Amino acid sequence: MDSIFSIQILGNGSASPNILRSPSAQWIQVEQQHWLMDCGEGTQFRLLEQGLKKSKLNGIIISHLHGDHYFGLFGLLTSMSLENRSTPLTIIAPVLLKSMLNMLLNQGGYTLSFEINFIATDEVKTLECLYEHDFFSIDAFPLEHRIHCCGFKFKLNKTIYHLKPAVLEELNIPVAQYKVIAQGEDYQKAGQKPIKNDILTTKEIIDKSYAYCSDTRYFAALSDFVKSVDILYHESTFSEENMERAVQTFHSTAMQAAMVAKNAEVGKLLIGHFSARYTELDFLLAEAQSVFEQTAIAEESIVFNIEQSK
């Protein structure tokens, strides 16, 4: 089965540019939808490199208005418009992004070829659902950074109905009905008693979640917001030896990210948003793993499969 819930890392760097890393951006596939989580400068070029089609995007989330998380948005949107996109695009972001976007578009004489469905994050004070679609939802929750900043949680809850071929044949169910039965429907023939779906299929329930914490200082309550997610991405801008700098800049150390993961009892922790001062990342990984073993580097271009994570 193709993955129906995955993230692909497009950038794991932080604000200072570094030849080794790109600024924050992640491609999230959830069911039939595709979302971009943050959009640092150059993201549209990362999409080209990774063969990810921007035309597929249903929505873009901007965690906060620091440039390394959104300076790629304007170029991406104007490029989408050059491609004559007509499908509306959802943007979840601080409301002021909308004014900035309008200003840049006006000055450039641009009119976007598509509508934007804008969902503002400004009033998010606790875990709050901002978007629901079929089998998944997107929650936002507050982080603690120098400016207003949100974390996000994608939750997929879907039942897959696996047909029982032997039973279907034995009960002479027409093949034309298999599709609706595989969507969970009972079988109904005129004048007969319905055959319950339970008899015709075995159910597999996919109940998985992914949380993204872009820029934040450590605070104990964060663990509640990301409780028990299957994969947690948490910024790890610094190592413990640069704790003072982490405190000054409202960022976290790799160890603090691991403390959140441990307290929240998540399945797996991905660390990223690394300071440009680090060329090697192994020691940051080791630092996090000393607290929470199931930690990995959010390596650029790697796809992490969420529905198959344990």
Secondary structure of the chain in HEC code, one letter for each residue: CCCCEEEEEEECECCCCECCECCCEEEEEECCEEEEEEECCCHHHHHHHHCCCHHHCCEEECCCCCHHHCCCHHHHHHHHHHCCCCCCEEEEECCHHHHHHHHHHHHHCCCCCCCEEEEECCCCCCCEEEEEECCEEEEEEECCCCCCCEEEEEEEEEEEEEECHHHHHHCCCCHHHHHHHCCCCCECCCCCCCECHHHHEEEEEEEEEEEEECCCCCCCCHHHHCCCCCEEEEECCECHHHHHHHHHHCCCEHHHHHHHHHHHCCCEEEEECECCCCCCCHHHHHHHHCCCCCEEECCCCCEEECCCCC
By beta-carbon proximity to a second copy, the closer residue of 113 and 137 is 113
Q: How many residues bind a second copy (CB under 8 A)?
A: 36
By beta-carbon proximity to a second copy, the closer residue of 20 and 167 is 20
Catalytic residue among 68, 139, 215, 230: 68
Neighbours of 154 (CB within 10 A): 25
Residue 110: CB minimum distance to a second copy, A? 8
Q: Is 108 buried (19+), middle (13-18) or exposed (0-12) by CB count in 10 A?
A: exposed
- Kindly state whether residue 242 participates in binding a second copy, applying the rule CB under 8 A: no
Which residues in the 41-70 window bind a second copy by CB under 8 A? Answer: 41-42, 44-45, 48-49, 65-68
Q: Which two tokens stand for residue 284?
A: 């940051």
Per-residue string for binding with a second copy, 8-27, x by CB under 8 A?
-------xxxxx--x-----
Residue 102: CB minimum distance to a second copy, A? 11
Which residues in the 67-86 window bind a second copy by CB under 8 A? Answer: 67-68, 71-72, 74-75, 78-79, 82-83
- Kindly state whether residue 107 participates in binding a second copy, applying the rule CB under 8 A: yes
Residue 115: CB minimum distance to a second copy, A? 20
- Candidates 147, 199, 286, 303: give the one binding a second copy (CB under 8 A): 147
- Kindly state whether residue 248 participates in binding a second copy, applying the rule CB under 8 A: no
Q: Is 38 a catalytic residue?
A: no
Residue 279: CB minimum distance to a second copy, A? 13
Residue 267: CB minimum distance to a second copy, A? 33
- Candidates 59, 94, 142, 151: give the one binding a second copy (CB under 8 A): 94
By beta-carbon proximity to a second copy, the closer residue of 50 and 197 is 50
First to last CA, the chain: 17
Residue 37: CB minimum distance to a second copy, A? 18
Which residues in the 186-225 window bind a second copy by CB under 8 A? Answer: none
Task: List interacting residues with a second copy (CB under 8 A).
Answer: 15-19, 22, 41-42, 44-45, 48-49, 65-68, 71-72, 74-75, 78-79, 82-83, 94, 96-97, 99-100, 103-104, 107-109, 146-147
Residues tagged active-site: 68
